[in-house]
Amino acid sequence: MKLLQDKVAIITGATRGIGRGIALKFAEQGANVAFTYMSSAQKALELEEELKALGVKAKGYHSDAAEYAAAEALVNDVVAEFGTLHIVVNNAGITKDGLLMRMSEEQWDAVIHTNLKSVFNLTKAAIKPMLKNRYGAFVNMSSVVGGSGNAGQANYAASKAGIEGFTKSVAQELGSRNIRSNAIAPGFIETEMTAELSDDVKGKWIEGIPMKRGGTPEDVANATVFLASDMAAYVNGQVLNVCGGMRT
């Protein structure tokens, strides 16, 4: 029996990096996957076909979860198409780095809006079908910098710290309805984004990791499968660090 057999999941920001890794791992474990994307329709179509080839139902939605009405419409469309909803993975996020003294209001607002407000929007929209099922699992993507902070990332760190507080509050509100809420805090994960960094910068990151390597999208995806599955039926309101020991 696959860990997510016949479950219906929404994964935001799934056409690259960690989100793509999660979508593929969910499909391997039997979940039917609805995913969102913002930019490349071609990449979305390619992912859709890859997921279907794994024997599950899959559909990509061009949707901005940072917009409240769009998040509501997405959940309604997914429930209409897939019949129900069991799991939401709030993965979509952006960075607009810069030292605080040079950070513009636009840089601050954009990151908080996309990273934090999107989690509120989609979580709120998904509660109704989960209450109907008396079953649900939210997995929200935080970051190690949500706990430690990081120079040049005050906006990003604040958004991720906010996600962790939000996750724990939702866990307390909905736990009695058999709806769980947990977060994952990845460390340095090797994705298309980090591939653009110089070897020197990457080397300094890896130097500070006890395991002496960067993580992979699959490392994060495996943890996400666990938290979304019934193997984590008594895990609620937690932040799971997937960081090779960077954050303890």
- Catalytic positions, written as ranges: 156
Residue 143 DSSP label:
-
Structure tokens at 86: 């069991």
Nearest one of 219, 184, 240 to 25, comparing CA atoms: 219
Structure tokens at 1: 């029996």
Structure tokens at 165: 């507080």
Residue 97: how many other CB atoms lie within 10 Å:
14
Residue 30 DSSP label:
T
- Please, are residues 11 and 220 in contact by the beta-carbon 8 Å criterion? no
What are the φ and ψ backbone dihedral angles of 185, each rounded to 5 degrees?
-115, 90
- Please, are residues 247 and 194 in contact by the beta-carbon 8 Å criterion? no
